[in-house]
Structure 1
Amino acid sequence: MLRFAHIEFLWGLAAVPLLAALFYAVSSWKKKAVARLGDRKVVDLIIPEVSFSRPWIKFILFAVAYAMLVVGIADPRMGSKLEEVKQKSADLMILLDVSNSMLAKDIAPSRLENAKRSIAQLIDNLHNDRIGIIVFAGEAYVQLPVTTDYSAAKLFLNTITTDMVPTQGTAIGAAIDLGMRSFDFKNGTGKAMIVITDGENHEDDAVAAAKSAADKDVMINVIGIGSLEGAPVPVYENGKETGFHTDSLGKPVVSKLNEEMGKEVAIAGKGAYVRATNANSGMGIVMDQIARVQRKTVDSRNYKDYEDRFQFFLGLAFLLLIVEFFISNRKSLRLSNVRLFEVKSPTPAAGTGPTQNRINTGKSR
């Protein structure tokens, strides 16, 4: 079966009849111009090197080469064999803190934006693993169910803001419980979670939720994002920063990373804890930990492997262009004088011509 990887390039073949029509018009104009000079035999004596057939030969070679080039660029492929592809995967759920404290800028450009960038890099490095996203603050919501559609995952990731969850807080336990309910435990694949949070305003018993998940062979990893010194939490109105959140005394609220809580959750979940910095998101260390999760074959399909054939068409186009280049538009006068099949009349021998006959006849008299 023949198929093209870039079939849209075949529209370039539409230029072939247009070029042929244009060349025919120009060739006809040249013939008429030469005909106006006089009789064809006289003109051939005046301009013997002019050829009307060679330009056509050159054009045909060029047109065929162009067509082969277009087909080659479209990348024709031929089916050749069947391969069995087995995909081994694990289920990964990202739990992202979207509380207002994630707007603090001790991690540039902000804690939330830095976390979203590291998740995007994680998605780019995934292959067969399935991924889901849960956002949480005082409550938890499924932003993206577990899927292998990485494009959709990045699209949903870009829409995440702190306005998505109206209730403020950091309900890590609720997010873990929601993640457990979102997993499909019947498929038998390994499962893990990555909690990205600053740990501020802890609402529930996250350690107990992590331990319960670990008892069901779900690894809980935590990336603490923020600094121990903390930073004020900005306030935004219409996309512009207008100030900072303040306490009852009117002083700016400083949000600090609750690192102890993150470590306790990771230990209870039998996972790893990493603190993110401006230089290192910590995602690499966590993924090394998740690599230990058991992966199971969840899909086995037969795919037809297509072999590229573009090289044959490009090679033929290149060869035709070389031949076209070495064909001149004008006749070769040297070759024109070579007549391999012309029969020449014999030259009379000395003393056998009519004059000699007359002389002999005279003597006989």
Structure 2
Amino acid sequence: MFTIEKHLYFLLLLLIPLFVVVRHYYLNWQRKKQLEFGNPIALQKIVKFSTVNHEQFRFILFLTILFFSVLALVNPKFGTEKNSVTAQGVEVVFALDVSKSMLCKDVSPNRLERAKQIISQLVNQLNAERMGMVAYAGNAYPVLPMTTDYALAKMYLQTINTDLISSQGTAINTALKTGVDFFDNPNAGKVLILLSDGEDHEEAAEKAAIYAKDKEVKVLTIGIGTPQGGPIYFIDEYGEPQVKKDKEGREVVTKLQETVLENIAKNASGSYIYANQTDEVVALVKKEIQSMKKATVKSQQIAQQKSQFQWFLGVALVLFLLDVFFIENNLFSFAQRIKREKNE
């Protein structure tokens, strides 16, 4: 794959035809002035060591240097490179509720999108932490394996929706067990961040929280929604917006179950955070992560594109040195030799 980093610098290439035009008019003006000074035969005798071809060559060399300098400035990128990165960090797993109740709009734009915004902001705060992601509703499935590729994590995050898992419900217990089993570094601090409205949970969730505690995994629960709640909006198979209703035809109202999430966090020796303001949630979670035990994390990161500007800059530099130290000095030596011959 080939890309250009700074396309704007290509405008400098317009200087090449500009210099050609200017030099053309300059040479015509110079020729006219020389004819005014004397006839062509006399001028040829006076400046017989003049090197028109040499000057032409130097001008072409100058334009070539300019061309390669511009190519260096635009910084073409192609090829791949691998960098071994060693740093201190913890392991983080996000467990995201994708049940239909997360489509409630009691928080803007809706619960699921608010949860994804929080995860995205938290990913921005990660440094050397390895992270993974689990999505759950009536069951739990891995979405992203443990990685330090945060750009890839954000890409996967954007694809998550409530249609990802067909079985409905909120199997927090399964999400906790799946998330706990994600961790693979016994020396690093482990934190499982669970984002949910706590609706339709199973009683086994509190036992799963104890399981997380036994595995030395800190669980942070983040409550998405409001205690007042609201209806569940969704798009039907015909693409029409609908409101979820019960068997009696009444609108289903879903509410944030803070007590559920608080008990899960308590049983896992973690903390419950109400997602009222995204910035506050991010700050609190970041503080929790920074206080945890860190371990050496070594990973291979692949840079998709490698800068190649140095090759073009090198060519420009070599041509410049050739002009300064070889061509110009030869011209000076040639002129001096002609003068000595005339004096003799």
TM-score of the two chains, using structure 2 as the length reference: 0.69
Structure 1 letter corresponding to 2:61: I
Change (3 A) 1:314 1:265: farther
- 8 Å Cα contact 1:191/1:218 also seen in 2: yes
Larger relative helix fraction? 2
Residue 136 (structure 1) aligns with: 136
Residue 58 (1) aligns with residue 41 (2): no
Residue 202 (structure 2) aligns with: 203
Q: Distance in 2 between matches of 1:296 and 1:156?
A: 26
Q: Distance in 1 between matches of 2:224 and 2:84?
A: 43
Structure 2 letter corresponding to 1:61: F
Change (3 A) 1:293 1:343: closer
Residue 218 (structure 1) aligns with: 217
List aligned pairs for 1:216-365, cutoff 5 A.
216-238=215-237, 240-277=239-276, 280=279, 282-299=281-298
Structure 1 letter corresponding to 2:172: I
**Greater Cα offset, 187-196 or 205-214:** 205-214
Deviation of 1:45 (Å): 6.1
Residue 361 (structure 1) aligns with: none
Change (3 A) 1:7 1:111: closer
Deviation of 1:210 (Å): 1.1
| RMSD over equivalenced CA pairs, Å | 4.5
**Greater Cα offset, 41-50 or 122-131:** 41-50
Q: Distance in 2 between matches of 1:146 and 1:288?
A: 21
Residue 184 (structure 1) aligns with: 184
Structure 2 letter corresponding to 1:237: D
1:6-35 residue CA offsets vs partner (Å, 9 max, x unmatched):
8999xx9xx9xxx99xx8xx99xx99xx9x
Q: Distance in 1 between matches of 2:66 and 2:235?
A: 62
Unaligned runs of 5+ in 1: 35-40, 77-82, 324-338, 345-365
Deviation of 1:342 (Å): 5.1
1:152-199 residue CA offsets vs partner (Å, 9 max, x unmatched):
3222212111111222111111111111222225x4222110000001
Residue 118 (1) aligns with residue 118 (2): yes
Change (3 A) 1:85 1:162: closer
1:79-104 residue CA offsets vs partner (Å, 9 max, x unmatched):
xxxx9964222211111000000001
- 8 Å Cα contact 2:180/2:215 also seen in 1: no
Change (3 A) 1:104 1:278: farther
Q: Distance in 2 between matches of 1:113 and 1:56?
A: 64
Residue 94 (structure 1) aligns with: 94
Larger CA Rg, structure 1 vs 2: 1
Equivalent residue of 2:203, what SS?
A: coil
- 8 Å Cα contact 1:139/1:167 also seen in 2: yes
Residue 165 (1) aligns with residue 150 (2): no
1:188-213 residue CA offsets vs partner (Å, 9 max, x unmatched):
22211000000111123222211221
- 8 Å Cα contact 1:93/1:134 also seen in 2: yes
Q: Distance in 1 between matches of 2:194 and 2:204?
A: 14
Q: Distance in 2 between matches of 1:7 and 1:243?
A: 46
Q: Distance in 1 between matches of 2:94 and 2:147?
A: 12
Identical amino acids, percent of aligned pairs: 31
1:298-356 residue CA offsets vs partner (Å, 9 max, x unmatched):
4399xxxx9x979x869969x89xx9xxxxxxxxxxxxxxx887559xxxxxxxxxxxx
Deviation of 1:230 (Å): 0.7
Residue 146 (structure 2) aligns with: 146
Structure 2 letter corresponding to 1:161: N
1:226-279 residue CA offsets vs partner (Å, 9 max, x unmatched):
011111101212584522001232121111110111111111111121111255
Change (3 A) 1:239 1:203: farther
How many positions carry a matched residue from both structures? 292
- 8 Å Cα contact 2:133/2:144 also seen in 1: yes
Q: Distance in 2 between matches of 1:234 and 1:57?
A: 73
Q: Distance in 1 between matches of 2:284 and 2:316?
A: 49
Q: Distance in 2 between matches of 1:44 and 1:131?
A: 83
- 8 Å Cα contact 1:72/1:313 also seen in 2: no
- 8 Å Cα contact 2:122/2:282 also seen in 1: yes
Unaligned runs of 5+ in 2: 32-37, 78-82, 301-306, 325-338
Structure 2 letter corresponding to 1:272: S
Change (3 A) 1:164 1:184: same
Q: Distance in 2 between matches of 1:207 and 1:66?
A: 68
- 8 Å Cα contact 2:138/2:169 also seen in 1: yes
Change (3 A) 1:65 1:44: farther
Equivalent residue of 2:296, what SS?
A: strand
1:10-69 residue CA offsets vs partner (Å, 9 max, x unmatched):
xx9xx9xxx99xx8xx99xx99xx9xxxxxx95466999998443443332332343345
